[in-house]
């Protein structure tokens, strides 16, 4: 019997979800408050219009859809980047033309579990696929892992390397690779390489560095199956996050459970959320599925679906 869960991250000192509603979210990143569109937030806002209008910048969508770059409308001058801290780590916030900031606080809902499983292995090897700006890669390295980070975007990998330096982890064993994930995984299988833990955050659609096409519904099943082959004989687990709006958490649960049908362990799945600072209301942000023989902690609600 499957159980689907809601996960929310532990509090960040310098990040807060202030309010949501009306198709947008109001967030604080350090000293700056930003308004970004969010198609999930179709309910009414809680804070007043004046509180929303005091935001330092609001993202304006481009005409023609989300695939086209938009722009930020600022009440006061925003720096090109500023640091955001989590415990002893630090990451650069950079407002992009596609509304993202390079920071996904909801991913840290997995980090207590990640620290737990990494502590079970003296020198764990971790593969991070579609790693973007490297927050999970840096967190894993800070907890003793040797990390291989793969992303098709050279600017994203440079941003991740900047985050590594900002966190003071220049000497940490992180291998940064600009590559097509599918081709890289296939090569690793042929080479006979293995990893103790695999984390992936695939987009709905993407392009590799040489124009390779990625479509989540089409390519994810094969990738998950290949990743099972890449895991070591005593693996720590596989963690899959997805921002897909056309699949459900149950879809990911079934996919991962089927892929690991010949291995011991269990699958948990559900939604990643962010909790509003004042009201406590949860904003759904992403889906996840996790296979491991170590139960995923911090489950807010079980049997949700």
Annotated domain spans of the chain: 15-80, 85-93+99-292
Percentage of the chain lying above the pLDDT 90 cut: 82
Q: Provide the pLDDT confidence category of residue 264 given band limits of 50, 70 and 90.
A: confident
Pick the CATH number of 85-93+99-292 from 1.10.630.10, 3.40.50.150, 3.40.30.10, 3.30.70.1060: 3.40.50.150
* Cβ(255)–Cβ(289) below 8 Å: yes
Do 15-80 and 85-93+99-292 fold alike per CATH? no
> Does the pLDDT at position 152 exceed 90?
yes
**pLDDT surpasses 90 at 115:** yes
Residue 194 has pLDDT above 70, yes or no: yes
Question: Residue 209's pLDDT is what?
Answer: 81
Instruction: Determine the average pLDDT of the residues in 163-172.
Output: 98
* Rounded alpha-carbon distances, angstroms, from residue 165 to 68, 153, 154, 178, 221: 31, 19, 17, 18, 35
**What is the per-residue pLDDT across 86-110, written as a single tens digit (0 to 9) for each?**
999 999 999 999 899 999 999 999 9
The answer to whether 35 and 24 have CB atoms below 8 angstroms apart is yes
Superfamily of domain 15-80: Golgi alpha-mannosidase II (2.60.40.1180)
The pLDDT, as a whole number, for residue 302 is 37
d(CA 55, CA 223) in angstroms, rounded, equals 41
Own/partner pairs for 219-223, CB < 8 Å, 24+ apart? 219/182, 220/255, 221/255, 222/182, 223/129, 223/181, 223/182, 223/185
pLDDT reported for residue 214: 75
The answer to whether residues 28 and 286 touch, using CB atoms and an 8 Å cutoff, is: no
Q: Residue 63: is its pLDDT beyond 70?
A: yes
Per-chain mean pLDDT for the chain: 92
Any bridge partners for residue 151, and if so which?
178
Q: What is the pLDDT of residues 16-54, one digit of tens each?
A: 999 999 999 999 999 999 999 999 999 999 999 999 999
Across the range 135-140, mean pLDDT stands at: 98
Instruction: Please list the residues that pair with 77 across neighbouring strands.
Output: none
Q: Given pLDDT bands bounded at 50, 70 and 90, which one contains residue 64?
A: low
d(CA 16, CA 26): 9
Task: Please provide the distance, in angstroms rounded to a whole number, between the alpha carbons at the two ends of the chain.
Answer: 11
């Amino acid at each position: 019997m499957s159980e689907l869960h809601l996960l929310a991250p532990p509090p960040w000192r310098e990040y807060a979800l202030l309010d949501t509603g009306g198709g947008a979210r109001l967030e604080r990143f350090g000293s700056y408050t930003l308004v970004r569109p969010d198609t999930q937030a179709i309910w009414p806002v809680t804070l007043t219009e004046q509180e929303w209008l005091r935001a330092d910048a609001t993202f304006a969508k481009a005409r023609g859809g989300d695939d086209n770059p938009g722009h930020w409308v600022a009440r006061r001058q925003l720096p090109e980047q500023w640091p955001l801290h989590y415990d002893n780590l630090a990451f650069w916030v950079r407002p992009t033309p596609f509304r993202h900031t390079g920071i996904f606080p909801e991913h840290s809902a997995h980090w207590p579990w990640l620290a737990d499983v990494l502590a079970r292995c003296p020198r764990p090897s971790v593969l991070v696929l579609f790693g973007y700006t490297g927050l999970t890669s840096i967190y894993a390295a800070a907890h003793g892992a040797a990390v291989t980070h793969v992303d098709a975007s050279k600017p994203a990998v440079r941003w991740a390397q900047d985050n590594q330096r900002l966190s003071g982890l220049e000497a940490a064993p992180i291998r940064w690779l600009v590559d097509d994930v599918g081709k890289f995984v296939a090569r690793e299988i042929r080479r006979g390489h293995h990893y103790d833990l695999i984390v992936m955050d695939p987009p709905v659609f993407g392009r590799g560095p040489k124009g390779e096409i990625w479509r989540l519904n089409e390519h994810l099943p094969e990738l998950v199956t290949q990743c099972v082959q890449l895991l070591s004989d005593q693996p720590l687990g596989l963690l899959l996050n997805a921002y897909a709006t056309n699949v459900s958490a149950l879809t990911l649960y079934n996919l991962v459970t089927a892929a690991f049908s010949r291995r011991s362990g269990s699958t948990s799945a559900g939604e990643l959320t962010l909790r509003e600072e004042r009201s406590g209301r949860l904003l759904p942000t992403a889906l996840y599925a996790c296979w491991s023989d170590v139960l995923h902690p911090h489950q807010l609600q079980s049997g949700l679906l």
